[in-house]
Amino acid sequence: MGLDAAVTDPQPVVEAGVPAGGVLLRLGASRYAVAMDDVAEVASIPGLTRVPGAPAWLAGVANWRGRMLPVLDLRPLLAADTVPLPGSARLVVLARGGIVAGVVAEAVPGVYDGELADPVAPPPTLTPDAASLIIGQVADRSGPIAVLDAGAVLALRERVDRRRHGS
């Protein structure tokens, strides 16, 4: 089953007049933020169906509002420890340009109220996979926060589709 049948066009959670910021995710020992405009929903982790032959970062697919939702576990791509998910784990559903996917987070500790549009450069020590998903970093009083590129995360489906079609 390819990911072409992914759900499309949910409404983002941001309302008019609400300042831009981001949802915070914890993956391994690091914190990440994804722009609020790209978040459709934060929910409990649903039951997942594994996809045979899928890469480690494709956790599986889930029924989300009656539609198939690809669920991604970015920890292998971000070089984060892949440990069993704790009870605090959440699904962050990303949506952009009609493409939708869920991202597993070990926790969603809150929101980042600052601006994510102009982050400083990420550390040069990132793996190539991590560098392709992170547009930069911001900080708050608790330390650095890597800013995920929702477009790049959602584009991961192309890697699965190419692989499954022998390209």
Distance CA 115, CA 10 (A): 24
**Which two structure tokens, joined as six digits, stand for 134?**
């992170």
Mean pLDDT of 62-69: 91
Domain boundaries, the chain: 22-164
**Which two structure tokens, joined as six digits, stand for 148?**
């995920």
Collapsing DSSP to helix, strand or coil, 107 comes out as strand
End-to-end, the C-alpha distance of the chain in Å comes to: 16
* CATH 2.40.50.180 applies to domain 22-164: yes
Q: pLDDT tens across 11-40, in order?
A: 444 444 444 689 999 999 999 999 999 999
Distance CA 108, CA 88 (A): 8
By CB atoms closer than 10 A (0-12, 13-18, 19+), residue 126 is: middle
Q: pLDDT tens across 92-146, in order?
A: 999 998 899 999 999 999 999 988 888 899 888 899 999 999 999 999 999 999 9
Residues 116 and 138: beta-carbon distance below 8 Å: yes
Mean pLDDT of 56-73: 93
